[in-house]
Structure 1
Amino acid sequence: MAARCTDLPLLPGYSFDPKIGRKKFNKENVFDYIGPGNRALIEKVTPNLFGPLGDRYPSLYPRGEVPEIPAWIAYDKQILRFDAFFRETLQEFRGGHYLIRKVRIYFFLEDGTVQVAEPKTDNSGILQGTVISRQRIRLPAPMDANFYDITDFNVGREVEFYGRVFKIVDCDKFTRVFLNRVGISVPDPIPMPDDPYMKMRSKEGEASLPKKPNRKVDKLGQFLANDQKVLRFYGYWDDQETQFGYFHNLEIHFYLADDTIEIKELPDSAGSHTGFMFLSREKLPKVSHGLPAPGAQDTSILLNVLGEKASEMRYLNDALNCGKEDVAYYMDNDLTIGGVINVYGRKVVLTDCDEYTKQYYMAKYGVNDFTPPEKPEDRDAATEDMLSKKRELPPWNGYGTYEDSAQNCISLEPKGPKRDFTKFLKLDRIGMDSHILRFAARMISKIPENCTRKFIINYYLNDDTLSVFEIAERNSGFATNQFLGRGPVMLPGQAIFVSDPPKNYTAQHMYIGATLLINSFKFVLVDADEYALRYMEINSNEFPKSDINIVMDKVRQALKPIYKDFVAENLPVETPVITYEKLRDKICKILGKDFTEHEMVTISRAFSANCFKPRYSREDIRAITLTELKRQLWDDIERVTEYFKARDPCRTGILPRKECYTLLRACRLPLDKVLIERILDEMKKDENCNIYYNDLLDFLNREKCGMIDVIPINIKNELWFDSERVPRAGSLIDWCAFNKFLDLEKTFQEGIGPIEHH
């Protein structure tokens, strides 16, 4: 930029270019040598008298030898927020002399700037938003040489910005904590004063003000109260008596926001009549006299116009509406089930309505009868039924799959078969949930070698397909490979070359003890993995053999006549448990073939008495934790306690597990993630699995019940969730729980007599 003298005019010839005569135009280097052969990046900043390097801040020097972090980095995005108000004088308002305007004062710690903003409120009548943009503000005279700082803001103080005084009444939680930490005491919040202007605008104040007569009908209140509220009716218009007429199925919409009606025609199933707009949205008159004349529906009537020039023209409005014709329109109380409405000469009969409309009429008018009337016979219904009848395909010829052959018969252009995409999205793999049921199976054959072969049968729920994989034993003569590729498997005993699609194996055919015939090979399912059993128990409505209530009801009906003898024969003597094999043999003798192995597995899983003792107890985990904290020289339990109490302002002593994990990670505990998860597993929890964090703080505090240091272990391997194999449930059954669920003892006490307890 050319420099010039301010005393000279800004004219050509009076300004001078400083680049004239200059020969070197290069930029300054950003690299410099700070020692022999040491080249480092430097930063040109304001000289720091306290720094060891003057105005150069090389990145080569370690922490502690460079200047302190500047404020715009240390306090980046840290803002103090204060709630305040100021009074604005009202000059032309009766009943109030001032207006209370609530604002928020933001103090940016990074550069000491201040911003004042007023939150926007609906129907306030004033322009709201940013009152003072972000800037540094000077103190009022005679201290205007200085700027506002953090010490000038506090609850109860008044600050003056450009002649306007703001009263601070409150601050947010971050501001209160920050000021307390820097040594500034923050008083309690001050109540906001009442606003006389808003009182006058309230209903009590408006009742005292005289109102001018308003002849205009205000529809805004009805619109705000009933916006997006629609009554839906179903009806018909029988036009079969006219030439080329047909039966119209209609859907009537009544909009409560403005009392308008819209009628749509529903398309039929055959597609012969597509749906179209029968009546556009409008107010429907009860009696129609043809098209109204121009100006007949105007809201106001102009009586006369005086004057010749547009600037001097005067007009008179008819306030009494003498020439206006009253037209009766259909309202919500005119629409009833079985009623008839006149749609410009067409009689539309209402036959039904949706659930929301029924609730509306029951609440407003007390109508409880919504019985639909009988519809007249549709002459085109027989034709439509013939058109919609299922197409009969020719028998399958055996080439390709049935789906491919059927698709080629439907259309001339070959297309691939369509799959159930909705079922695929619902039952496809989602994270660890594979939706695959895996069963262990053995082959039933006349060849002895085949009877010893082991197979894994996978059932895919998303498309009802099967795959078989063989697991060969060593030196058996068979290979471990895929026995059958994934695909649907037909049920045995069906005719193959027919028109109807074949029935395949479904998920209900898969259970322990079931026999499957796959490509002339007979398999029996002998076991299932944990995921399959758990999935079938969760979805017991689809798998009745995994429903403990159905299974026990079957056992209950069979044991009613012999319950006393059954208890006497199988009652344990030493321990209140019974083995799986013993209970299975007894129930199978009573129920016979009606009782499957899968139902017995369901009973054993429901009343399992297996005990599992983890490798590391709570005391062992605490000893490992305290040892790790001691090795890492960590001793900051007070800060952790402060963070946990800050996240629980109501002092309930309970926090969710996820939040406890986040706080421990945020406090930078030198513990592995696996160890933190194991610590949270050992904590005390409520019925909603929330953690009592006081127990967690005592767990991490070595001063409470100190423990002896232990030898460090490989935490990732030793505490991994799959490192301790939980024994499979079902080998032992709780006899007491089994009999309590049967609940047959009360029946015998009432009908037969008391039972002798052994």
Structure 2
Amino acid sequence: SSSATFIPIGSQRPMTGSVRNAGSMHSSRVLVFHSYFKESVHESPLENHRIRKCDLFYFTQDSSIQILERKMENSGVPQGTFLKRHQVPRDDGSPDLIGLSDLVIGGTVTIYSRTFHIIDANSSTKEYMRANGFPVGASLSFPVDRYETERSTIMSRESGKDPTVCHNIKKNPMKEFAEAMLGHTVTNKGREGFLKYERKVLRFHCVWDNRESMYGDLQFFKLHYFMMDDTVEVLTVNGPNAGRDPYPLLLRRGRLPKDLKNDKSGHYHWQDMDIGATVNVYCRNLTIVDADESPRQFYHEEGRPLALPIHIEQEEPPKPEREIPPYTGFGSEEDSLTSCTGSLVQTAPRKVLGENKVLRYLCTFHRAQPEDQGREFIISYYVVDKTLGVHEPPKRNSGIIGGSFLARCPAKQSSGDPIRPHHLYLGAKLSLSGRTFLLRETDEPTLQHMEQHPDAFPLSDPRAVLGELASQLDGRGVDSGLLENQLLSESSGPNSITPNELRRALATLEFVPPEQYFVTLSRAFAQDGRFNIRDLLSKLYS
């Protein structure tokens, strides 16, 4: 066919063997074979494979093949033309094409790495094959497909073919009239409520207390009970600024079952309604807290007076906190904050001075550009007023003029967050003036000050470092035996290890702590620059 779209399979191959003979037997004949192939289904609790049913068409005119997949309702798989008409090469790589001799009933044929099981053919195809000397096997049936079986069962229930399933569909009044004309007795069941109570409706006020759940809230509803047919509807009551979508209905009018899992439990009746009673509205437990005057009068006449209303305590919403506007950069930030206290009388801010101490750290650019390689800076942190300055020592023949890189100013990062003492440790990264600095070294007075104030500098406390190190290793599933073997493999001495060797051992375990860890542990436990492995393990896992 000139309108068919061919799959590119290389250059046109000449017909050989049985393909040439079959083509010469009849110039225009289409043979139809019924087949299937199995497709694996992963991660499905319903099936592990699926049977794909196909019809294979063989055109004797040019020995071309077309495959159409039978359509199945709601299969979720695109079906129809599975393989467009063209000459199909053999799957073993030989130059021959798949011919009529390869299509045997009861056999298999592999087309583009898919194995098709041929189970039957139509009557004209069988007669043609017998007349031309081709073997015709016994017809087979399609194998049982679990998905197809369960799907047919579901569709029989949904479509109404299964009479044992109740769909709760109310009959059309004209259908009832037609059945009455044919002699069927018309039942008046369901009309006694209208004859007795007419259109009376009982209104109850309910609450759903879901505050114990995450993001739960206390919600209010109105429950309407229609006496004529024992149906219930639930309306949502949203207060002002509730922030909820204005959906008026929680439950559309209908009969409300007491238990979804037990059909014999029945439906809610007006005798089940009372102040303090709980109504299960599809897994939402609504508590009746009050009723209108009309329901109270009705229950009083029935000899079942309702109790007094229940008062629900509601928590007042928290008052919004005052938001501090961002610092404008004019004057000091402390002076600007005095205008946010609510007082019209401005007073000078009280300065809380700390210890007259300067902490110095040697740092470099983190991920420096090629032109900034080798530049070093000294960050000076003034404890007395929590200010910070950056100075670059001059280097001869470097081409960069040293001096003040950042003048002394309040210690804040580029994002505006203040720099606290616990942010200062070896290996830390500080973002200042749009540049990221990596703290590499410090002097002895700074280390002593950090060790004297472990609350402000937690990474200078050996016990805190050991606890954090043990927690990280435990989270990675590293026990003492595995750690000891790793330390011994990296150690260059008997039962001892250097800080660099400890760093390599931890890196092998996919844990790279900052440099401050090793400095703190070295100053606390190392002797002559080496750790005793057993002492270190005993302190770490004690």
| TM-score relative to the length of structure 1 | 0.26
| TM-score relative to the length of structure 2 | 0.36
